[in-house]
C-alpha cells in the first residue's frame, strides 16, 4: 500500500513526503520538475529512505499516470502539483487553467478508474479574498481574484461534484501562508528568480542576495499599518496532510473543506522583526505603496481542523523564522548551491 504525492519534489510536497515516511507510509513521489529539481528528491531520500519511489512525469499524461497506478499499490493520493504564482497567472492564464485544472481532472479520473477513493487536495485561503469576518471559517463565501485563484476555486468545485457522483472522498485543505523549513535545513523553499512572497524575500535579503525588502503599504487598518497574514510552519502543514489521510482512512466521506492555519495573524513588520531575531542582524527595508490585489488582513479559524482531523499547529513565528533561516543560510542558492 502506498501514498501517491503529486508535486512531491516541491516545497510543501517535500516536507509532506518526510512526514508521510515518518508516519510509516510507503510514498511514491511524482513531479515534472517544472518548479523543482532532482536535487530535491535526493534531499528527501537522504532524510527518509534511498528507496523512496520517484516518477518524473507530467500529471496530464494519462499513460504515465496509468503506469504509476498499475505498478504501485496506491491507496491514497495527495495532490500538490500546480502552478502557483499569482502574478504569472495573470500573464499566462491559459497555462494556469490547463496545468492546474487539467492535472486535477486527469488525476481524479485515473483514481476513479483504478479504484482509489481517498484524495487530499491543496487549496488556498486565497478562495476567501478579503473575508468580512475574521478569523475566517470554512463556511465563509468563496471566489477568486486571479486566474490562479480561480483554478483553486474551480478545482474545489470539480472535486465537490466528482465526490457527489463517484466513489471519491476528498479533503480540500485551504492553506494559509506556509513558511519555514525542515529542522535539518536540507529541504526548503527554493523559488525561481526574485521571490514574490514575503519570507523568501526577507531571507534572501538576510543572506545578501537582495539589497532590501520593500514593505507593501503601511496605511492598512492594522496595529502597525502593515497587512496581516496567518503564517504557518510548513512542517505543521505537512503533519496536517497526514492527519487528513488518517481521517479519510477512518471513514470520512464526501468533499470537506478544512482550513490549515494557526489562528494567529502577524503583520509584515512583526515578521521582519522575528526574522531579524532569527538571523541576528537588522534586515534593511523601506515602505512603498500597497501591492495591487493584496488584501488587508486574514487569519484562520482552525477549529474545524482540530475537530475533523485532530490536528493543531504547534510551531510559532519564531520557529518558522529560525528554520527558514537555517535552510537559507545552509543553502544560499537553494538546491543548486
Ligand atoms: P511548488 O511549486 O514548490 O510545488 C509544486 C510542484 O508541482 C513542483 O515541484 C512542480 O514541479 C510540480 N508540478 C507542477 N505542475 C505539474 C504537473 N503538471 N505534473 C507534475 N508535476 C507538476 O509549490 P508548493 O508551494 O509546494 O505548493 C504546493 C501546492 O500548494 C500547490 O497546489 C499550490 O497552489 C498550493 N498552495 C501553496 C501555497 C504557498 O504559499 N506555497 C499556498 C496555498 C496553496
Ligand atoms: N509583502 C511585502 N513585501 C514583499 C512581499 C510581500 O510587503 O516583498 C507583503 C504582502 O504585501 C502581504 C504579505 O507580505 O501583505 C504576505 O505576502 P505574500 O506574497 O508572502 O503572501 P500572500 O498572502 O500575498 O499570498 C500567498 C500566496 C498565495 C496564497 C496565499 C495564501 O502567494 O498564492 O499566500 O496561502 F494563496
214 in ligand 2 pocket by Cβ < 6 Å? yes
The confidence score (pLDDT) of residue 217 equals 98
The confidence score (pLDDT) of residue 93 equals 98
Against a cut of 0.75, is the pTM above it?
yes
The confidence score (pLDDT) of residue 182 equals 98
Q: Which atom of ligand 1 is closest in space to residue 126's alpha carbon? A: 43
The confidence score (pLDDT) of residue 337 equals 67
Q: What is the pLDDT along the chain (337 residues), one digit of tens a residue?
A: 999 999 999 999 999 999 999 999 999 999 999 999 999 999 999 999 999 999 999 999 999 999 999 999 999 999 999 999 999 999 999 999 999 999 999 999 999 999 999 999 999 999 999 999 999 999 999 999 999 999 999 999 999 999 999 999 999 999 999 999 999 999 999 998 899 999 999 999 999 999 999 999 999 999 999 999 999 999 999 999 999 999 999 999 999 999 999 999 999 999 999 999 999 999 999 999 999 999 999 999 999 999 999 999 999 999 999 999 999 999 999 998 6
Q: Which atom of ligand 1 is closest in space to residue 57's alpha carbon? A: 20
- If one residue of 125, 203, 216 were mutated to test the ligand 2 pocket, choosing by the most ligand atoms within 8 A of its CB, it would be 216
Residues framing ligand 1 (Cβ under 6 A)? 7, 9-13, 31-36, 58-60, 80-82, 84, 99, 103, 122, 124, 175, 177-178
In the reported structure, the alpha carbon of residue 198 is separated from the centroid of ligand 2 by a whole-number distance in angstroms of 6
At the fourth CATH level, the homologous superfamily of domain 2-178+233-261+300-311 is NAD(P)-binding Rossmann-like Domain (3.40.50.720)
Residue 97 annotated as catalytic: no
- If one residue of 142, 198, 217, 321 were mutated to test the ligand 2 pocket, choosing by the most ligand atoms within 8 A of its CB, it would be 198
Name which residue sits closest to atom 44 of ligand 1, judged by CA: 124
Residue of 11, 128, 148, 335 with catalytic role? 148
Name which residue sits closest to atom 7 of ligand 2, judged by CA: 215
Name which residue sits closest to atom 25 of ligand 1, judged by CA: 11
> Mind spelling out the 3-state secondary structure of the chain?
CEEEEECCCCHHHHHHHHHHHHCCCEEEEEECCCCCCHHHHHHHHHHCCCCCEEEECCCCCHHHHHHHHHHCCEEEEEECCCCCCHHHHHHCHHHHHHHHHHHHHHHHHHHHHCCCCEEEEEEEHHHHCCCCCCCECCCCCCCCCCHHHHHHHHHHHHHHHHHHHCCCEEEEEEECEEECCCCCCCCCCCCCCCCCCHHHHHHHHHCCCCCCEEEECCCCCCCCCCCEECEEEHHHHHHHHHHHHHHHHCCCCCEEEEEECCCCCEEHHHHHHHHHHHHCCCCCEEEECCCCCCCCECCECCHHHHHHHCCCCCCCHHHHHHHHHHHHHHCCCHHHC
Amino acid at each position: 500500500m502506498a501514498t501517491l504525492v503529486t508535486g512531491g519534489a516541491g516545497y510543501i510536497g517535500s516536507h509532506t513526503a518526510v512526514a508521510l515516511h515518518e508516519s510509516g507510509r510507503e510514498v511514491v513521489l511524482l513531479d515534472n520538475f517544472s518548479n523543482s529539481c532532482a536535487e530535491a528528491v535526493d534531499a528527501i531520500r537522504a532524510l527518509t529512505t534511498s528507496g523512496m519511489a520517484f516518477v518524473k512525469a507530467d500529471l496530464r499524461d494519462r499513460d504515465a499516470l496509468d503506469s504509476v497506478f498499475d505498478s504501485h499499490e496506491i491507496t491514497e493520493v495527495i495532490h500538490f502539483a500546480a502552478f502557483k504564482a499569482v502574478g504569472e497567472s495573470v500573464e499566462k492564464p491559459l497555462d494556469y487553467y490547463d496545468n492546474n485544472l487539467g492535472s486535477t481532472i486527469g488525476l481524479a479520473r485515473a483514481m476513479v478508474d483504478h479504484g482509489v477513493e481517498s484524495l487530499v487536495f491543496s487549496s488556498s485561503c486565497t478562495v476567501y479574498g478579503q473575508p468580512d469576518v475574521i478569523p475566517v471559517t470554512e463556511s465563509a463565501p468563496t471566489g477568486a481574484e486571479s486566474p490562479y485563484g480561480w483554478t483553486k476555486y474551480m478545482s474545489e468545485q470539480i472535486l465537490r461534484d466528482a465526490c457527489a457522483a463517484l466513489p471519491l472522498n476528498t479533503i480540500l485543505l485551504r492553506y494559509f501562508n506556509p513558511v519555514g523549513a525542515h529542522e535539518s535545513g536540507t529541504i526548503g523553499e527554493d523559488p525561481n528568480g526574485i521571490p514574490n512572497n514575503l519570507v523568501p524575500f526577507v531571507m534572501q535579503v538576510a543572506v545578501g542576495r537582495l539589497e532590501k525588502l520593500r514593505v507593501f503599504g503601511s496605511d492598512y487598518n492594522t496595529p502597525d499599518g502593515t497587512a496581516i497574514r496567518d503564517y504557518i510552519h510548513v512542517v505543521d502543514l505537512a503533519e496536517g496532510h497526514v492527519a487528513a489521510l488518517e481521517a479519510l482512512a477512518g471513514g470520512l466521506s464526501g468533499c470537506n473543506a478544512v482550513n490549515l492555519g494557526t489562528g494567529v495573524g502577524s503583520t509584515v513588520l512583526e515578521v521582519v522583526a522575528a526574522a531579524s531575531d532569527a538571523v541576528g542582524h537588522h534586515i534593511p527595508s523601506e515602505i512603498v505603496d500597497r501591492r495591487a490585489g493584496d488584501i488587508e488582513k486574514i487569519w484562520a479559524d482552525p477549529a474545524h481542523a482540530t475537530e475533523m482531523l485532530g490536528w493543531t499547529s504547534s510551531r510559532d513565528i519564531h520557529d518558522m523564522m529560525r528554520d527558514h533561516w537555517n535552510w537559507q543560510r545552509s543553502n544560499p542558492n537553494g538546491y543548486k548551491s
